[in-house]
Amino acid sequence: MTAPLTPSRPIDGGSESELPAVRLMPKANARAIRHGFPWVYANELVTDRRTRKLTPGALALLEDAERQPMGLVSVNTNSKIIARMLDRDPAAVIDQAWFERHIRRALRLRERLYDAPFYRLVHAEADGLPGVVIDRFDDTCVVQPNAAWAEALIEPLCAALVAVTGATNVLKNAGGRTRALEGLDDVNAVLAGAAPEKPVPVRMNGATYLADVTGGQKTGIFYDQRPNHAFAANLSRGARVLDVFAHVGGFSLAALASGASSALAVDGSGPALELAQGGAEAAGVADRFATRQGDAFDVLAALRAEGAEFDVVICDPPAFAPARPALEAGLRAYERVARLAAPLVAEGGILGLCSCSHAADLAQFRVASVRGIGRAGRHGVLLHTGFAGADHPQLPQLAESGYLKSLFFRL
């Protein structure tokens, strides 16, 4: 097991310590960091020869420009986020016990929120573990260590996870986009126990979903949309539902569980649609469920040409604007989705549009959506704005933690 790591510089006249110190530049916003912002960008840190030699993920004591200690950070000079705050206490010890405290605190919240152990257990910075995502599927946990420090300390992290939750299987998912930005590989692994041989059934909002925790997108399911699935389902009783970018049937299966008359799930992934079909069969709603594989934009256009009409249309695409350089193209893509989807909505029907893009804020996404609806010749009122579920808490100081937006219009 990885040895405990302790602060490296003398604090208040203490003895020489084991870890190096890194220092903010005078222009850095030290006040924001003191008030809870968890990141230091590469242009805010003094990167002398000694700092550049640090192993990616190494721990260090962060000092302000006047050399006053600010806390314990991880450092990765390969990343634009060069330092991540781990603990405001410069004397913190990052060991299994430290991980257990954070995971136990996160678990207490989820156990207050949900009756069954299916949820996002750790949501990165908001749960005090920067860059770490853990989704729980009963006795199986899937960990995404998307920052170099978490990869380096994966052994005590895994041991703490098992100790706190009693999980028998812990899988590492290395498919996160940010891992490449951290200089990390994309090799998945089994950290404890064994990988489930079959998709894991997950009950949410009365529906049954099948999560492929080893080969599916992300960790196998999108827990963040749970409350938005529920909102759309409440509007779907007796309705004809179209679920575009459906993955394993998130909106469509919840709608059927709530009494929708029919649901069509559209996705480019055949395996995802097979899981959606399996979920429909498991819930006994397969007679009202259909799938259609293909490029979502092409299918939307084809459905219009066929004269198709639905009472509820939901579009939940992947992140079209995952980073700022992709923002303009991403907003045009969201506008296009709205323009193609709106004509398929019956008079008085519901159009739900979702974005999981970090770079596109709520106002920008709303403008793109409204513009697309208008260019389709439709008019609507905004009924509801939804966000990620409470198992995806937001860190108020970090706008990126509030990535998910869902807009529901009545056209």
Assign residue 25 the CATH number of its domain. Answer: 2.30.130.10
Q: How many whole angstroms separate alpha carbon 288 and alpha carbon 257?
A: 10
The whole domain housing 312 covers: 200-410
Q: How many whole angstroms separate alpha carbon 275 and alpha carbon 271?
A: 6
Q: What is the pLDDT of residue 18?
A: 83
Residue that terminates a domain, selected from 68, 87, 106:
87
Instruction: Check if 158 is active-site.
Output: no
In-domain check, residue 338: yes
Shared domain check, 353 and 239: yes
| Token digits of residue 4 | 């405990």
Domain count, the chain: 3
Cα–Cα nearest to 123, from 143, 138, 152: 143
pLDDT band for position 376 (50/70/90)?
A: very high
Cα–Cα nearest to 255, from 275, 282, 228, 218: 228
pLDDT band for position 216 (50/70/90)?
A: confident
Shared domain check, 130 and 114: yes
* C-alpha distance from residue 94 to each of 40, 89, 150, 170 (Å): 19, 11, 11, 20
Shared domain check, 279 and 334: yes
Q: Which of 158, 315, 354, 356 is catalytic?
A: 356
In-domain check, residue 171: yes
Cα–Cα nearest to 38, from 149, 168, 170, 130: 130
Shared domain check, 179 and 78: no
| Token digits of residue 278 | 């399996």
Shared domain check, 404 and 257: yes
Q: How many whole angstroms separate alpha carbon 47 and alpha carbon 103?
A: 32
Q: What is the pLDDT of residue 88?
A: 96
Shared domain check, 45 and 28: yes
Global pTM reads 0.92
Q: What is the pLDDT of residue 324?
A: 87
Q: What is the mean pLDDT of residues 211-234?
A: 93
In-domain check, residue 304: yes
Assign residue 140 the CATH number of its domain. Answer: 3.30.750.80
In-domain check, residue 365: yes
In-domain check, residue 236: yes
Shared domain check, 205 and 105: no
Q: How many whole angstroms separate alpha carbon 296 and alpha carbon 24?
A: 46
Give pLDDT tens digits for 177-186.
Answer: 889 989 999 9
Give pLDDT tens digits for 69-115.
Answer: 999 999 999 999 999 999 999 999 999 999 999 999 999 999 999 99
Total length of the chain: 411
Residue that terminates a domain, selected from 192, 214, 240:
192
Shared domain check, 232 and 329: yes
Average pLDDT, the chain: 94
Shared domain check, 229 and 185: no
In-domain check, residue 35: yes
Give pLDDT tens digits for 250-304.
Answer: 999 999 999 999 999 999 999 999 999 999 999 999 999 999 999 999 999 999 9
| H-run or E-run covering 226 | helix 226-234
| H-run or E-run covering 240 | strand 240-244
pLDDT band for position 13 (50/70/90)?
A: very low
Shared domain check, 333 and 253: yes
Amino acid, single-letter form, for residue 337? V
DSSP 19-57: S-EEEB-TTS-HHHHHTT--EEEGGGB---HHHHTSPTT
Residue that terminates a domain, selected from 159, 192, 225:
192
**What's the count of helices (H) and strands (E) in the chain, helices before strands?**
12, 19
In-domain check, residue 9: no
In-domain check, residue 8: no
Residue 3 has pLDDT above 80, yes or no: no
pLDDT band for position 14 (50/70/90)?
A: very low
DSSP 67-131: --EEEEEEE-TTSSEEEEEEES-TT--BSHHHHHHHHHHHHHHHHHH-SSSEEEEEEGGGGT-TT
Shared domain check, 252 and 338: yes
Q: What is the largest CA-CA distance in the chain?
A: 77
Shared domain check, 183 and 237: no
Q: What is the pLDDT of residue 322?
A: 85
| H-run or E-run covering 279 | helix 270-282
Q: What percent of the chain has pLDDT over 90?
A: 91
